[in-house]
Structure 1
Amino acid sequence: MLLSLRRRWQRWRRSRPFWGGLFAVLAGSWICVLPLAPLKIMLQQGVAGIPSVLMGIVMIVLGLTAWFSPPQRSLAGVLTTLIATAALVLSNLGGFLIGTLLGILGGGLMFAWQPHADRRTGKAGTTGTAESAKASPPPSPSPVPPPPTPHHDPQGAQP
């Protein structure tokens, strides 16, 4: 039971931009929490702190979007990076640079992530030695290339 639960978790985590989403959620949380800090720590508070909270919430939503809707990862990654950069100016130096750096890292990881495509396998049992090359005839060239491997990514990413 525990082993199957762990495998399901690993399969879920590997089938989406997990780390990019995690960094975006952490960045959004950090930027969102800072306006609630004591006055001695804050640079902006009150009405001027509203953009901080809004940008933090949007970054959290974008991180969750990357987790639960991987086909939207490119848009979420670009928007996360832009919001993290805007937070540098609008939100207490982007969460004292921590939120901005986490947001840029998370957005880049979300944008760069590609779904795992199954590897094409050759014939089973061939070792690639000279004897096996002599035993099997060389493949004849076909005039029509094989169709591409079906891919579940609607944006057309290739393996």
Structure 2
Amino acid sequence: MLLTPLRTRFRRWRRSRPFWGGLVAALAGAEICALPLAPLKVMLTQGVAGIPSVLMGLVMIVLGVSVWFAPHYRGLAGIVTTLIATAALVLSNLGGFLIGTLLGILGGGLMFAWQPRVPRRGAPAVPAGSATPAESDPTSAESDPTSVS
């Protein structure tokens, strides 16, 4: 399957940062933030208690998006996201009815655990889309179907 250059560039960009952790954390923030923004009748009943929910949700969205553009802050963003998601359990309608809290903890963990890909020592650099060294070397045992391992 041939990938378009734009899709290939996006894939390379996505793999160079904690993309999935940031996405899950932003979704968790949106979930926590959306519940207090209910119709006006519900919002008036909730009163001032809805303000921390909106603020925690916005901070989680900002942290999730910030690791896309500054991946070196992934450790701090992951820990803060996990702490906010845990605090939302108490301060914000059970953390978005548990969905926001669970997504926030998962997203924070994904951000914290992500490591940048480091090329192996001694392995030649292979440009994206080209053959691996074993496929390009005709004398390699892996590429010879008649060789016995």
Q: Structure 1 length normalisation: TM-score?
A: 0.72
Residue 102 of structure 2 is matched in structure 1 by 101
Residue 80 of structure 1 is matched in structure 2 by 81
Cα distance in 2 for partners of 1:78, 1:45 equals 29
User: 1:63 Cα deviation (Å)?
Assistant: 0.3
Unaligned runs of 5+ in 2: 125-132, 142-149
Map residues 139-158 of structure 1 onto 2, 5 A cutoff: none
Alpha-carbon displacement from aligned partner over 1:6-59 (angstroms, at most 9, x marks no partner): 0000001000000100000000001011001248978x7221100000000000
Alpha-carbon displacement from aligned partner over 1:94-127 (angstroms, at most 9, x marks no partner): 0000000000000000000000011234587575
Give the structure with higher Rg (CA): 1
Cα distance in 1 for partners of 2:123, 2:25 equals 40
Distance 1:41 1:20, change over 3 A: farther
Residue 11 of structure 2 is matched in structure 1 by 10
Distance 1:30 1:122, change over 3 A: closer
Alpha-carbon displacement from aligned partner over 1:49-81 (angstroms, at most 9, x marks no partner): 000000000000100111110000000000000
Unaligned runs of 5+ in 1: 129-159
Cα distance in 1 for partners of 2:88, 2:25 equals 13
RMSD: 2.4
Larger % of helix: which? Answer: 2
SS in structure 2 at match of 1:45: helix
Residue 146 of structure 1 is matched in structure 2 by none
Distance 1:122 1:73, change over 3 A: closer
Cα distance in 2 for partners of 1:86, 1:41 equals 22
Distance 1:13 1:46, change over 3 A: same
Map residues 65-144 of structure 1 onto 2, 5 A cutoff: 65-121=66-122, 127=140
Cα distance in 1 for partners of 2:94, 2:24 equals 18
SS in structure 1 at match of 2:84: helix
Q: Structure 2 length normalisation: TM-score?
A: 0.77
Distance 1:96 1:7, change over 3 A: same
Cα distance in 2 for partners of 1:5, 1:127 equals 34
